[in-house]
Amino acid sequence: MNPKILVRKFDAYHPGHIEGFVRESVGLFSSRGPLFSSGDKVLLKPNLLRGFAPERCVTTHPAVIDAVCRVLKDLGVGQVDLSDSPAIGSLKAVANSAGYGDLGKRYGVRIVPLTDPVPLVTEENIAHLKIAGSIREYDSTINLPKFKAHCQMTLTLAIKNLFGLVIGKRKPVLHCLVKNDKVTFGKMLIDIAKHVAPSLTIVDGISAMQGNGPINGTPYPLGLLAAGTDMTALDRVLAEIVDVPVDKVYALEAARIRQYGQWDLQHIECVGETDLDSLKVSDFKLAKYPVDISFNPFRLVKSFLKQFYEVGIKEKLAGSN
């Protein structure tokens, strides 16, 4: 059976409209059985790369997270936790900057750091790959990426977002262990995606990021939300909308090679906005100067020092004021 991808147009982050989309997504993808049951423990995995305000488009918009929490609570889910592994800054500080600070008060959501790194064996035999073992505590995971251009991987969408479940500074080290082969890195992402197997993915593309993402790009009014259970099919549809070939989205190319999910548009069914051509844009800018997947030693040291400053000094000083 061809996988379904739900796509809807949105001109802004209207809470009611987004909640309607989340409910529609849960209903559509529960046709073979409920995605979430009463009493379940669910993990939300947004993109919380750095501590920026929502209008910078670095992180998943809080209106999307809020809508997901409302729907889960209405379904009787027992506990909702939210986690990621930011590049710089503590999870709590980054989540507050992203607009997630009141989720605990409103819905009882816990913002919890990833813990218990456990080895993940990959087909590429990439050494030192460890993923948060704490995700095993949950009945299901919801993947909540931000639609962004990416200076190394071209686009960061559903598959790439799960790389955030690798804890802390292991991520830049893993960048260096693939010998600057972006498709090999993509294959590692496929292994992570297979392991995590989220119940549902909802991509925030209402205000996307174009240009020199995933941090230094600029907002782009793409005006859509998209959801699916097949992350490859979801990424394939979104890449088509911004006119990027499969072989240039390295996570997608890895999925095609590995035969993970459905990458062939002819075998993907779009629901909601069924005319894909009407969604296509021609002016979405990718990174002007794509960079290598590997980080040079100076950049690695700089990243470690930045993290020490943010968490060990800046955040502590802010907390004491």
pLDDT tens per residue across span 29-61? 998 899 999 999 999 999 999 999 999 999 999
* The dihedral formed by the CA atoms of 291, 57, 199 and 233, expressed in degrees to the nearest 10: -60
Structural domains in the chain? 4-315 (3.40.50)
- How confident is the model over 174-183, as a mean pLDDT? 70
- How confident is the model over 173-193, as a mean pLDDT? 81
Q: What distance in Å separates the CA atoms of residue 318 and residue 321, rounded to the nearest whole number?
A: 5
- How confident is the model over 70-83, as a mean pLDDT? 97
CA angle 84, 89, 94 (to 5 degrees): 60
pLDDT attached to residue 311: 59
Residues 284-299: tens digit of each pLDDT:
999 998 887 665 555 5
Global pTM exceeds 0.85: yes
Asked if the model's pLDDT at residue 20 lies above 60, the reply is: yes
β pairing state of 224-228 and 110-111 = unpaired
CA angle 239, 245, 248 (to 5 degrees): 100
pLDDT attached to residue 313: 62
pLDDT attached to residue 45: 98
Structure-block tokens of residue 204: 């925030």
User: What would the DSSP string read from start to end of 72-121?
Assistant: HHHTT-SEEEE----SSS-HHHHHHHTT-TTHHHHH--EE-----EEE--
